[in-house]
């Protein structure tokens, strides 16, 4: 029997209302996969929105941020290199870095960034705008400082701007970078389409050349159907309408989730997200892996342990406000609070 999963507060799936309502017909010739002049120009414009002045030879289209992380780590890292990872960070990045056999070093972000990295690192991977899972922004002075540190101590900064288009007033580290220290990646999964698998990578031309070779080895380039749809939507403006809708919808849902958390889980602690799509909450004494099991088929959540590279984080859970309707957000949190109450009651017996 199929049991319906009712409330989805788990993954970071976008609200389907955000995506363009209709697509222009494909324009890019089907034989083009790695670049197309007119699309490049649209992407250059898109990057300017994030304060980045990039030329055509500094841009590579990927199938998403995860591919960007994969390309970066398989081109520039060696086994045993130390890489600073936000603690906690995006679970997909932890998987890629682990598979690359790097040694992770902590870059604490709770309650805010502490960028005093002491180890000799090869790179830092950061999501400085609307950080996943916490939703905080790195302060401008820390962005400047980490860039200075990268220059002084010769390491790369891999900046993942997955949520940047939702809070465009926050400057990217890449926009401050004069010497090509920063490799910038972003995804269009959150604002355009998750299924078309599109992302952008920006770096100095000598690196982009290496990344392009790696991309050709992996998949030979993106689907021209995805590229055509992106181009059409940038050209006719529906891409930008989607971004405006996204900002409005997510701001409303964020308030709804916060109210529901205050109402049903008054004992929970969190830092209010400044961007992104999530609340990362701590409920003392709980085991969020167990909670996830108990909630199975009722409410989807992301247990905190997914986001700490050493498996810590049992008392944390990440709740997404992007996908579910306002009613479902509220109902989902009510069910979570009941389950937590039951678990605490039973553990006292």
Ligand X SMILES: Cc1ncc(COP(=O)(O)O)c(C=O)c1O
Distance CA(88)–CA(312), nearest Å, equals: 9
Shortest Cβ 320–ligand X spacing (Å): 10
Pair type for strands 302-303 and 316-320: antiparallel
Q: Helix H segments across 195-264?
A: 205-218, 224-236, 238-264
Nearer to ligand X, 90 or 280 (CB): 90
Sign of CA dihedral 245, 47, 226, 322: negative
Nearer to ligand X, 92 or 303 (CB): 92
Region binding ligand X by CB under 6 A among candidate stretches 59-67, 110-118, 147-155, 295-303: 59-67
15 phi, psi to nearest 5 deg:
-65, 125
* Nearby residues of 161 by Cβ (< 8 Å), 6 or more positions away: 50, 127, 128, 129, 172, 174, 184, 185, 186
Nearer to ligand X, 199 or 273 (CB): 199
64 binds ligand X (CB under 6 A): yes
Shortest Cβ 251–ligand X spacing (Å): 18
Nearer to ligand X, 207 or 277 (CB): 277
Site for ligand X, residues 83 to 102, rule: CB under 6 A: 90, 92
**Residue written as tokens 């008392």?**
315
292 binds ligand X (CB under 6 A): no
Region binding ligand X by CB under 6 A among candidate stretches 58-66, 98-106, 302-310, 332-340: 58-66
46 binds ligand X (CB under 6 A): no
196 binds ligand X (CB under 6 A): no
162 binds ligand X (CB under 6 A): yes
**C-alpha pair distances (Å), 91 with each of 77, 255, 274, 327:** 19, 25, 20, 28
Site residues for ligand X per CB under 6 A: 12, 64-66, 90, 92, 127, 132, 160, 162, 187, 189, 199
């Amino acid at each position: 029997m199929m049991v319906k999963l009712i409330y989805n507060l788990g993954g970071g799936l976008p609200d389907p209302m955000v995506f363009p309502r209709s697509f222009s017909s494909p324009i890019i010739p089907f034989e083009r996969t790695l670049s197309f002049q007119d699309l490049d120009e649209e992407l250059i414009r898109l990057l300017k929105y994030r304060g980045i002045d990039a030329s055509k030879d500094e841009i590579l289209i990927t199938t998403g941020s995860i591919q960007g992380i994969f390309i970066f780590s398989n081109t520039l890292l060696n086994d045993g290199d130390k890489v600073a990872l936000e603690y906690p960070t995006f679970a997909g990045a932890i998987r890629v870095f682990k598979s690359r056999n790097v040694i992770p070093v902590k870059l604490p972000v709770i309650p805010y960034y502490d960028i005093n990295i002491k180890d000799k690192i090869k790179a830092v991977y950061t999501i400085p705008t609307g950080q996943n899972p916490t939703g905080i922004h790195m302060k401008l002075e820390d962005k400047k400082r980490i860039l200075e540190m990268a220059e002084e101590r010769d390491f790369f900064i891999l900046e993942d701007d997955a949520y940047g288009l939702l809070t465009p007033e926050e400057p990217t580290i890449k926009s401050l970078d004069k010497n090509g220290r920063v490799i910038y990646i972003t995804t269009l999964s959150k604002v355009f389409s998750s299924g078309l698998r599109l992302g952008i990578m920006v770096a100095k031309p000598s690196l982009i050349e290496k990344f392009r070779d790696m991309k050709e080895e992996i998949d030979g380039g993106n689907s021209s159907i995805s590229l055509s749809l992106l181009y059409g939507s940038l050209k006719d403006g529906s891409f930008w309408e989607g971004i405006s809708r996204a900002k409005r919808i997510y701001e409303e849902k964020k308030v709804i989730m916060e109210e529901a958390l205050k109402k049903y889980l008054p004992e929970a602690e969190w830092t209010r997200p400044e961007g992104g799509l999530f609340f990362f909450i701590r409920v003392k004494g709980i085991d969020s892996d167990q909670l996830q099991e108990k909630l199975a088929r009722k409410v989807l959540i992301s247990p905190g342990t997914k986001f700490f590279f050493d498996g810590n984080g049992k008392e944390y859970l990440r709740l997404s406000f992007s996908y579910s309707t306002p009613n479902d957000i509220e109902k989902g949190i009510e069910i979570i609070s009941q389950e937590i109450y039951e678990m605490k009651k039973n553990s006292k017996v």
